Structure 1
Amino acid sequence: MARKSIIARNERRKELVEKYAAKREELKKAGDYEALRKLPRDSSATRVRNRCVLTGRGRGNYEKFGLCRNMFRKLALEGKLPGVRKASW
């Protein structure tokens, strides 16, 4: 499981992205890169990491479910993910 501080940092980044999204879009359209540079770094959407909602794992995530591959497999085998079945052919 990811450290709580890393998960919290990512949540703060998400809030900043949401807060500055409109302003960043305006500045990009105007071509004012000097003002864009003065905004907080973490307000850029590229700094947000997709993380598993259960464990906080930052790699191997299924964006559709918001889960990492390990938790996805575990929950799918337990039948807790609607519409997901193990393949057989």
Structure 2
Amino acid sequence: MARKSLIHREKKRQKLEQKYHLIRGSSKKEINKVTLLSDKWKIHGKLQSPPRNSAPIRLHRRCFSTGKPRAYYRDFGLSGHILREMVHACLLPGATRSSW
């Protein structure tokens, strides 16, 4: 199980990303439209004004049940260990068992 503080930090980043999503998107579109370099620098400064944790690149996917960041399967939203346990318990339809 991941530490609670790391899970809450990740949730905070998700909220910040949703809050500043439109601001970042509009600034990036403006940079593509403008041709003068000085104008691009001004818009780039505006793009850097939101908090760093609001950047989507800082988000990290975590397991739904344990909160572990590693061995994450996007299709299921689970880490490899929990995924294997659920497949062996026949809780995931369509997934086949393997012994590794």
For the aligned pair, the TM-score class normalised by the smaller chain equals over 0.9
Q: Give the residue type in structure 1 aligned to 2:95.
A: V
Residue 22 of structure 2: aligned partner:
22
TM-score (norm 1): 0.92
Aligned mates of 1:81, 1:8 — CA distance in 2:
28
TM-score (norm 2): 0.83
Residue 70 of structure 1: aligned partner:
81
Give identity over the alignment, percent. 37
Q: Give the residue type in structure 2 aligned to 1:21.
A: H
Structure 1 alignment gaps of length 5 or more: none
1:40 has 2:51 as partner:
yes
Per the TM alignment, residue 61 of structure 1 is displaced from its structure 2 partner at its CA by: 0.2
1:50 has 2:61 as partner:
yes
Structure 2 alignment gaps of length 5 or more: 32-42
Q: Secondary structure of 1:84's partner?
A: coil
Per the TM alignment, residue 30 of structure 1 is displaced from its structure 2 partner at its CA by: 1.1
Aligned mates of 1:23, 1:51 — CA distance in 2:
26
Aligned mates of 1:86, 1:68 — CA distance in 2:
16
Q: Residue by residue, what CA displacement relative to the aligned partner does 1:26-69 show, whole Å, maximum 9, x if unpaired? A: 01111211011110111111101110011110111001111000
**Structure of larger gyration radius:** 2
Divergent runs of 4+, >2 A: none
